[in-house]
Amino acid sequence: MANHFKLWYLQRLRLLDVLNGAQKATLEHASQMSEIRRRERIYLPGDPSDRLYLLKAGA
C-alpha cells in the first residue's frame, strides 16, 4: 500500500492526536498496512503478540 495513503490514514486517527510530528513520522515508518482476506485470522486469543492492530473495517 502506498506510504502516502498510510500516513493519510494514520493522521485521521484521533487516538494519535497527542503525538507530535516527529512521533507520527516514526510511527508511520514503523507501521505496516495489510489487507486480510475474509475469515483470515490475525491472531487467536491468548497468542503472544508484540504488535498493535488497528482495523479499518471488519471484526
* The predicted structure's pLDDT at residue 2: 55
pLDDT tier, 3 (very low <50, low <70, confident <90, very high otherwise)? low
pTM for the full model? Answer: 0.55
Give residue for cell 500500500. Answer: 1
User: Half-sphere exposure of residue 40, counting CA atoms within 13 Å on the CB side?
Assistant: 6
pLDDT score of 38 more than 70? yes
Cell numbers of 25, please? 513520522
CB 44 within 8 A of CB 50: no
* The predicted structure's pLDDT at residue 4: 63
* d(C-alpha 4, C-alpha 44), whole Å: 31
Domain boundaries, the chain: 1-33
* The predicted structure's pLDDT at residue 22: 92
* The predicted structure's pLDDT at residue 33: 82
